[in-house]
Amino acid sequence: MNSTIFDLPSADMSWCPGCGDFLILDALKIAFTRLGWKPADVVIVTGIGQAAKTPHFMKCHFFNGLHGRALSNATGIKAANPLLNVVAIGGDGDMYGEGGNHFIHTIRRNPDITNIVYDNMVYGLTKGQASPTSFLGFKTPVQVHGVMSVPFNPLAVAIVLGATFVARAFAGDVEETAFLIEQAVQHKGYALLDIFQPCVSFNKVNTYKWFKENTYYIGDSHNSADQKAALALALKSDSFPLGVLYRQEGRAAFEENMDAYKGDKAPLFKRMAKIKTIEGCITSMA
C-alpha cells in the first residue's frame, strides 16, 4: 500500500508470510489516514497474541497489557482522556477466551471505544490449539479427536447484550475492511468489528478460499437498526454475513455518564493542571 503517516518502516515483522494480519494492518492504516487522524490522536490497546503485536508495527500510541485485559485498559484510557481515539485489538482467544468476562461487561458499560478482533478460529501464538470460535470437529495437536465444544458466537452475544455497533469483515477484502473500520471508529459507543483472518500456519480448514466461499456481504435491504433482524444474521451458520449487522445511535457512552465529565470534556490531567495553577495563584496572592 502507499506510505502513510502511520507507517513504521523499521519494524521487524514477526508474522508468518501470508498471514491475514498483514492485510488488517494495511486496512487500519488506510482507515486512520482517510479519517485524517494523526498518530498522536490514536491509542491502540492490546493483550497477548499475534493480533496483539499490531501496534508494534504502527506509529501511534499503544498499551500492551495482560492476556485478555485489553478492553478494561481501553475503557480506563478513554475515561482518562475522552479526546483520544481508543482501539482495542486482539485475537479470538485473547478477546473471547481469556477476555470473555471483560468482553461482556465492556458491552454493558458502552465506552466510546472500538474493539477489533482478528478471528482466525485458532490460537496462532501458542502453536495451534482450538480457540473459542473453532468449529466442531476441528482437529489440532491438542484436540486430536476434534473440538467437542460448541463455538462461541461473538456477534450474537454482543447483539443480545446490547452492543451499539456490531459488524464483521474479511481480511482478504482490504478495501471493504478499511471501510468497516472507518464506520466502527466513528460510531459513538462500544463498537465490535470481528474480522475473519486466515491463519496460514495452524488453520488449514478456514483458509482464504474457505472464507471467500462461505461469506457474503449484507445487502442494502437489511435494517441495521433492527435488533431481531441483526440477531438472525448473527445466528446463520450455513454462510456468514459481512458488513454492519447492528447499529444503535443515541445511547450515552460510559465516560459521558461520569460525574467528572459533566460539563467538561477536558482530559483529567489537563483539568488537574488547571486546578493546581489556580490553587498556586490563590496561595501566592494570600
Nearest CA to 121 out of 67, 51, 24 is that of: 51
pTM of structure: 0.91
CA–CA distances in Å: residue 28 to residues 20, 57, 180: 13, 11, 10
**Strand pairing class (165-170; 240-247):** antiparallel
pLDDT higher at 279 or 6: 6
For 16-62, the pLDDT digits (tens) are 999 999 999 999 999 999 999 999 999 999 999 999 999 999 999 99
DSSP string, the chain: ----TTB-TT----SPTT-HHHHHHHHHHHHHHHTT--GGGEEEEE-SSSGGGGGGGBSSEEEE-STT-HHHHHHHHHHH-TTSEEEEEEEHIIIIIITHHHHHHHHHH--S-EEEEEE-SS-TTTTS---TTPPTT---SSSTT---SPPP-HHHHHHHHT-SEEEEEETT-HHHHHHHHHHHHHSSS-EEEEEE---TTT-SSS-HHHHHHTEEEPPTT--TT-HHHHHHHHT--SSEEEEEEEE--SPPPGGGGSGGGTT--S-HHHHHHHHHHHHHHHHHH-
Q: By the 8 A CB rule, do 57 and 13 touch?
A: yes
Residue 127 is predicted with a pLDDT of: 82
For 140-162, the pLDDT digits (tens) are 888 999 999 999 999 999 999 99
**pLDDT > 80? residue 282:** no
pLDDT higher at 283 or 5: 5
First-to-final CA distance of the chain: 61
Q: Name the residue ranges covered by the structural domains of the chain.
A: 20-253
Residue 104 is predicted with a pLDDT of: 97
Residue 274 is predicted with a pLDDT of: 59
For 171-230, the pLDDT digits (tens) are 999 999 999 999 999 999 999 999 999 999 999 999 999 999 999 999 999 999 999 999
Average pLDDT of the chain, as a whole number: 91
CATH superfamily of 20-253: Thiamin diphosphate (ThDP)-binding fold, Pyr/PP domains (3.40.50.970)
CA–CA distances in Å: residue 130 to residues 4, 124, 157, 182, 240: 36, 9, 20, 31, 20
**pLDDT > 50? residue 1:** no
Residue type, 149: S
State the average pLDDT over residues 84-100.
95
Q: Positive or negative CA dihedral for 8, 120, 109, 73?
A: negative
For 104-115, the pLDDT digits (tens) are 999 999 999 999
